[in-house]
Amino acid sequence: MYFSAYVEPEEVSRDPAKVNESLFKSHCKNIPHTGNVYFTADLVDEDLREMPISLRLVEQELTGKKETAADYKDVRIISEVKPKVYSQGTIETRAVIDKTGHYALYLIIGDEQSASADDILKIRLHVGAITEAMPFWRYAAKAAELFMTFAFPVLILLLIMLPMLPKLRFAALSKMLPGMQDRKN
C-alpha cells in the first residue's frame, strides 16, 4: 500500500478561487500545519480491492517519555469512514485537523470487531512538524556543504600548485615554440 497526505495550502484557504493542484505537496508522516488534509492510499494488492476497508483518524497523546508507538494513546476521533470496498484501488478522504500534535490514521481491513493486528494498518502523523520541504537556509547550508566538499579542496590544491605554474607554463611553451618555428620555415 502506498500512502500520501496532502495539506491544503494556506493560500487556498484564504482564497478558494486560487485552487491549483501544483500547490499541494505530498507528505508521508510530517504535516506542516493544520487545516484541510487530504489522505490517499493506493491498494497495490488486488485482494485488498475486494475487501471492505474503514478509516479512522485519531488524535494521540504522548503517555511515556520515549516516542515509540506504545507510548501514545488515542484521545479523540477526528474523522471516520465506514467500511467500503475500493474496487478501483484508491482510497481518498479528507479531514479537518484543528491543532498541531500527534495523530494516527487507521486503515482497518474487514470487520473492525474481528480484525486482527495484521488487518489494521496504523500510520502515525505529526502535524506542525518540520517537513520534507526544506527552508531556504537549509538550501544555503547544503550549498556550503557541497562547496566545502568539492570546490574547497580544488581551491587549496590550486593555491599549493600556484608557485609551480609559471615553471610548468614556461616548460610547456619552450616545447611548443621550437615546433612552431619549424612550421614557419
Q: Where are the domains of the chain?
A: 2-127, 138-184
Average pLDDT over residues 89-116: 88
Residue 77 scores a pLDDT above 90: yes
Q: Which three cell numbers stand for residue 24?
A: 499541494
Q: Strand 120-127 relative to strand 72-85: parallel, antiparallel, unpaired?
A: unpaired
- CATH topology assigned to domain 2-127: Immunoglobulin-like (2.60.40)
- pLDDT, tens digit, for every residue of 138-176? 677 778 888 788 888 887 887 787 676 666 666 766 676
Predicted local distance difference test score (pLDDT) of residue 26: 74
Residue 178 scores a pLDDT above 60: yes
Whether the Cβ atoms of residue 53 and residue 1 lie closer than 8 Å to each other: no
* Residue partners of 37: CB distance under 8 A and separation at least 6: 5, 6, 7, 8, 31, 94, 95, 96, 97, 127
Average pLDDT, the chain: 79
Q: What type of residue sits at position 7?
A: V
Q: Does the model's pTM come out above 0.85?
A: no
